[in-house]
Amino acid sequence: MKSDNIKKGIQRAPHRSLLRACGLNDDDFKKPFIGIANSFTDIVPGHIHLRDLVEYVKQGIIDAGGIPFEFDTMAVCDGISMNHEGMKYSLPSREIIAATVESMAKGHSFDALVLIPSCDKVVPGMIMGASRVNVPTIVVTGGPMISGQHNGKNTDLITVFEAVGQQSAGNISEEEVYEIEKTACPGAGSCAGLFTANSMACITETLGLSLPLCATTHALTEENNKIAYESGKQSIELVKKDIKPSDILTQESFNNAIVIDMALGGSSNTALHIPALASEVEGVHVDLDLFDEISRKVPHIALISPAGEDTMMDLHLAGGIPAVLKTLGDKIYTSNLTVTGKTIEENIRDVEIKNTDVIHPLDNPVHKDGGIAILKGNIAPDGCVVKKGAISKDLMYLKGPAKVYTSEEKVTKAIFNHEIEEGDIVVITYEGPKGGPGMREMLNPTSALVGMDIKNVGLITDGRFSGGTRGPCIGHVSPEAMSNGPIGAIVDGDMIEIDIDNRSVHVELSDDEIAERLANRKEPKRDVKGWLAIYQKMVLSADTGAILR
């Protein structure tokens, strides 16, 4: 066992002495040591129940003959950190989480890992760290939050953000915003729609790293507790069979992850996290061109909030990810190994698709191509990302004058001052991985525009958008302005054309005009210190997944 490195032989007597202080005895030294990465915290709703959930994992490990060792990672709530400097730390936290898992697993020679993430950056961060260590690993995502209710309709966090915009436009009262605020997030779990956290949980299950139905099993349910217990037990089976992430994370499994993403219309942030995960696995290559290729071939077959009215619970009751995989048929590689010790084909053989109004058949899709589109053009030579499945048909083509802002704060102020008009193309620069730094999500401006019912407006940024964003919001523009990207050349009044169906984003400027403006550009001053200063020096472009090198 790998853990023999810290417990076997006379030279490890000091190590055993320290382990005895943790409660171990002679018999325990014969058992596999399982590290449990838990992301519990009191301030993130997706994580407040993980202190209880981990106990089921521990019991599963003990009952299967292992010794559990729990350790913690950080977790940043994107909703709470939104629209202020806190959001600059959200995406960078992924790298700290990855380094924490790597450091703890390597430092203590764990024989296997059980990862317990829930929200956005924690899921990919933990898997990235585990991939570096490459010991048997299983993931228990914490489960979605149930939807709230207001006036007989489902609500979630995005409902609250959009309600603020409705109130600013004079369409609802401040009192009604307060009522929505009180009911939209009724308890523990990752935010109720197919936002980034739940998108990444679905991708994790598709990759084969979590047990079937884990992604859509809701928080605080007996079913969730059972999955946690069974995952703990299964970690010992993975040790016995020596099934490691490198055996599961193949090129085909990453292709499957993008297929499921397109079929569900997941968060645009997956175009950051899937390439970042792939960058940790030898022999695997994932880039935006692969996203584009798969997007053109795979139909969008589920309309989950924010794109539609269906909820994560609707998806779960329809059969969850196993039912989606079965629906996709030969668009999925089914011979891939999973943490069950079986292939996808074996896992889904007897799966029933329980509601074809939620999971549409391939011959009756929501849209004929995928829920995410990759655009290119002279604004984004290396690509940019849009959640195509959450845009109405009449907004697939936009052309209008640019209104340029060099920070989220400036554009948010302009929106709430009612300076944005129908037909404008809002351009937000210097919010990329380096420019922010940290590549902030900009849910506040997008949801405000929706709430104000200002529809015929496009947004383009080298930053990113929340998984809860809907409408023609184009993010991840690469290269970013801070790296001399063409987006930094755009000024107020430049005519911009967005053609989503034809995968194009273009500003009416010649190459010479863009080059001249970039040569004379002035970067906004940012007071960057501490961890963000280190991050800014090391982070690569969004089209690489904003990885550190």
CATH number, position 113 = 3.40.50.2300
d(CA 143, CA 500): 33
Confidence of residue 186 (pLDDT cuts 50, 70, 90): very high
- Which of 117, 145, 130 lies closest to 53, judged by CA? 117
Are residues 391 and 492 located together in one domain of the fold? yes
* Residues with catalytic function: 466
The whole-number pLDDT of residue 99 equals 98
Domain count, the chain: 3
| 85 annotated to a ligand binding site | no
The whole-number pLDDT of residue 394 equals 94
| 441 annotated to a ligand binding site | yes
- The letter for the amino acid at 344 is I
User: CA 493 → CA 199, 426, 455, 485, distances in Å?
Assistant: 37, 10, 19, 19
Range of the domain at 176: 149-182
The answer on pLDDT for 527 being more than 80 is yes
Q: Please name the residues in contact with 278: beta carbons below 8 A apart, sequence gap of 6 or more.
A: 254, 284, 285, 286, 545
Are residues 192 and 341 located together in one domain of the fold? yes
This prediction's pTM: 0.96
Residue 21 placed within a domain:
no
389-411 burial, b if ≥16 CB within 10 A, otherwise e?
A: bbbeeeebebebebbbbbbbeeb
The answer on pLDDT for 534 being more than 80 is yes
Q: Please name the residues in contact with 444: beta carbons below 8 A apart, sequence gap of 6 or more.
A: 82, 83, 161, 408, 412
The whole-number pLDDT of residue 60 equals 98
Residue 10 placed within a domain:
no
Residue 409 placed within a domain:
yes
β-bridge mates for residue 137, sequence order: 113
Are residues 137 and 269 located together in one domain of the fold? yes
Residue 361 placed within a domain:
no
- Which of 158, 156, 126, 155 lies closest to 141, judged by CA? 126
The whole-number pLDDT of residue 7 equals 97
Are residues 110 and 250 located together in one domain of the fold? yes
Are residues 320 and 215 located together in one domain of the fold? yes
The answer on pLDDT for 468 being more than 80 is no
Are residues 237 and 311 located together in one domain of the fold? yes
| 120 annotated to a ligand binding site | yes
The answer on pLDDT for 455 being more than 90 is no
Residue 26 placed within a domain:
no
Confidence of residue 442 (pLDDT cuts 50, 70, 90): confident
Q: Which of 182, 202, 226 is the last residue of a domain?
A: 182
Are residues 267 and 399 located together in one domain of the fold? no
Q: Which of 349, 367, 387 is the last residue of a domain?
A: 349
- The letter for the amino acid at 212 is P
Lowest mean pLDDT among 312-326, 342-356, 437-451: 437-451
Sign (positive or negative) of CA dihedral 180, 184, 185, 186: positive
User: CA 423 → CA 65, 302, 333, 400, 527, distances in Å?
Assistant: 64, 30, 43, 6, 34
Are residues 218 and 327 located together in one domain of the fold? yes
Are residues 455 and 408 located together in one domain of the fold? yes
The whole-number pLDDT of residue 453 equals 86
Are residues 343 and 391 located together in one domain of the fold? no
Instruction: Write down the mean pLDDT value for the chain.
Output: 96
Sign (positive or negative) of CA dihedral 294, 397, 78, 99: positive
- The letter for the amino acid at 133 is V
Residue with tokens 């992924």: 94
The whole-number pLDDT of residue 502 equals 96
Are residues 449 and 514 located together in one domain of the fold? yes
Residue 18 placed within a domain:
no
Query: How far does Cα 357 stand from its chain's mean position?
Result: 25
Residue 364 placed within a domain:
no
Are residues 216 and 84 located together in one domain of the fold? yes
Residue 24 placed within a domain:
no
| 492 annotated to a ligand binding site | no
